Chain A
Amino acid sequence: MVETLHNLYIGFAVALSPNVLLYAFVGCVIGTLVGVLPGVGPLAGISLLLPASFGLDATSAIVLLAGIYYGAMYGGSTTSILMRIPGEAASVMTCIDGYEMTRKGRAGAALAVAAVGSYVAGTVSVVALMLLAPPLASFALRFGPPEYFALLLLGLLMLAYMSGGSILKSLAMATLGLLLGMIGIDPMTGFFRFSYGLVELGDGIGVVPVAVGLFGLSEILLTAGQPTPPEVKKPRLRELLPSRQEWRASLWPIGRGTVLGFLIGIIPGSAHIISSFVSYAVERRLSKHPERFGQGAIEGVAGPESANNSATSGAFVPMLALGVPSGPIPAVMIAAMMVHGISPGPLLIAQQPQLFWGFIASMYVGNVVLLILNLPLVGIFVNVLKVPYPLLYPSILIFCVLGVYAVNGSVVDVGIMTVMGALGYVLRKFDFETAPVVLGLILAPMMEMSFRQSLSMSSGSYGIFINRPIALVMLVVGLALLVLSVAPWLMKTLDWRQRFGLASGQEK
């Protein structure tokens, strides 16, 4: 504990240096804007700003990108509460009761509870991240290729199980992503696979063009032709104080949302989205008056908003301790770290203590910055939404092109983004989730490498995956998830998605 506090002291020395502090502030402001703008989620925002971070030192770059990530989580609540438009997917549940509160003239209270809940969840979850990541990293030093293969397989199965829609469709999309990840040089033999003479594909398809295409561009394609958004209601500063009863009602939902969010955040998948859904369902189930949900219940704002912010920190645990991304956003952040010559993984904390603890401390600072930003300045951020979408989307499109081009200075990447944008547009029309595609693409090279390395280690014996206890446990958990996923489908009963009202369609 003393060592942790000493390390945190080093971290604060880094985080409070003017340079890093400035980038934390800039990241939070950009993140809030990204969260407020419909169609530009945290993933697209981080991807677009990735090239701009190349000129910075590693700590400043990671602090900037992390600021965008949790800033977007805060910002997404503003449009949900005031306009019933989720700025990003994790804010969907906030729309339900948040907007109803706005209609009843309690927009200020909803915004305040969302901001305070986000602050509490963000801060508490950083403490958990700080305590959990170092021991997990020490444990992960025992991992070899079979353990990594089992972990990555478990991650994909977990994503399919936890995703909102049909499991079959999620598994198909994850497989499609894995197949896309096969493009490029085979690291074991040097064969160029599926590159069709394009040298740029030698290193494989980049995460950024795929992510920006599937999330950013497809969103523009879907929304550009839609009618203009409804009128924006701007709360006054004096309306921002919730009543004592509202505070009391929010207390436990914030606590439960924080714990739930962090635990779900560690699990691979679209954690921040799922955590807000689960938190809402839990609050409704625990409430003595569940009929108030959907009519402006403050618990329906406090729980999900705390959960999605807490999940943000949770997602950093496997990223920093194992070097394994739990979703597309940590994957882009890993890419950013690698650009600066840093490999996240079990040795990161020992080899780069200043970066790790500076990053942790900057998250405390970032949460304070966001609390200050989100309450008094809400009116300023809301003004962005007054720009008509026909004038806004060309700008977003240009930033998509610019961000993707700048990563490698390659127009092939812009082409990939365009193809992925069209694919994402069609997939979303047909009710497919696109997050598993990105996660599959990211995990494919690691997964194939660890699979083939494992077989080389065992002279071709598949027994290596069950003879090693850690790998075996992870494979058994993965198998159990698969059985749990298939059971409701076979037995025609409801699984957890339908019970929580998450499934977009029935399991076929």
Chain B
Amino acid sequence: MTTDRLSGAVLVVFALLVIFESRHYPLGTFRLPGPAFVPILLASLLLIFGMLLVFTSGDAPRISSIRWTEWHHAAAILAASVFAVFATERLGYRLTVLLIVGFLIKVVERRGWMQTLGLAFGLAFGSFYLFYTLLRVPLPEGPFGF
């Protein structure tokens, strides 16, 4: 299996999904398109591009040639981003940043406590001061007052 064949197949599945989901909206007519007309038109185009990729990319690199050596870091960073989604408005900006930076520096990068605490507190409170206080960008404060 080549990289382009796999990605083409994923695009085909995605295009079919869009066409299926468009059933909720009126299609309209060719002369007077409805809200589903353009999405279906675009999904059909994507379907064609996906199929072309599947059928014409036999000489693309094989999937096994892709190296995922950094996936541990990538997974941890994505987990931190997901945490930010759920925590920012519940815990407040500063506490969320404190926890994310603490996790990434101490757990993922295995740095010392001094570096971890220095950077975590510096970023959490420094960026809050810069954006909230000086630049007046509204940021959420948590239940603990910060």
Chain A 38-60, CB-CB to B under 8 Å as 1, else 0, gives 00000000000001101100000
Q: Does B119 contact A (CB under 8 A)?
A: yes
Q: Are A391 and B119 in contact (CB under 8 A)?
A: yes
Contact A390 B109 (CB under 8 A): yes
Shortest beta-carbon distance from A399 to chain B in Å: 7
- Number of B interface residues in the complex (CB < 8 A): 70
Interface SS of chain B: helix, strand, loop or mixed?
helix
Indicate whether A402 sits within 8 Å of B131 (C-beta atoms), given known contacts A430-B66, A460-B31: yes
**Cβ B73 vs Cβ A225 within 8 A:** yes
Query: What is the CA–CA distance of A169 and B10 in the complex, to the nearest angstrom?
Result: 13
Given that A193-B39, A390-B105 are contacting pairs, would A168 and B31 also be in contact in the complex, using a CB cutoff of 8 Å? no
Main secondary structure of the interface of A (DSSP, over half): helix
**B38 in the interface (beta carbon within 8 A):** yes
Q: What is the 8 Å Cβ interface bit string for chain B, positions 1-19, against chain A (1 contact, 0 not)?
A: 0011011000100100010
Q: Is the CB of A359 closer than 8 A to any CB of chain B?
A: no
Distance in angstroms from A478 CB to nearest chain B CB is: 14
Q: How many whole Å from A398's CB to the nearest CB in chain B?
A: 5
A401 near B69: Cβ-Cβ < 8 Å: no
Q: Are B85 and A418 in contact (CB under 8 A)?
A: yes
Q: Which of B68, B70, B81 contacts A401 (CB 8 A)?
A: B81
Q: B residues 19-70 with Cβ under 8 Å of A?
A: 21, 25-26, 29-36, 38-39, 42-43, 45-46, 49-50, 52-53, 56-61, 66, 68-70
Q: Is A242 an interface residue (CB 8 A)?
A: no
Give the shortest distance, in Å, between B45 (CB) and chain A (any CB): 5
- Asked whether A104 is an interface residue with its Cβ less than 8 Å from the other chain, the reply is no
> Complex: how many Å from CA A57 to CA B33?
41
| A508 and B74 contacting across the interface, CB-CB below 8 Å | no
Which 6 residue pairs spanning A and B have beta carbons closest together? A460-B31, A225-B70, A225-B73, A172-B49, A186-B35, A418-B81
Sample (19) of A-B pairs whose CB atoms are under 8 Å apart: A52-B137, A175-B45, A176-B46, A186-B25, A189-B34, A194-B21, A221-B74, A221-B77, A225-B72, A394-B101, A397-B104, A402-B139, A418-B82, A430-B6, A451-B33, A452-B33, A461-B31, A506-B59, A508-B53
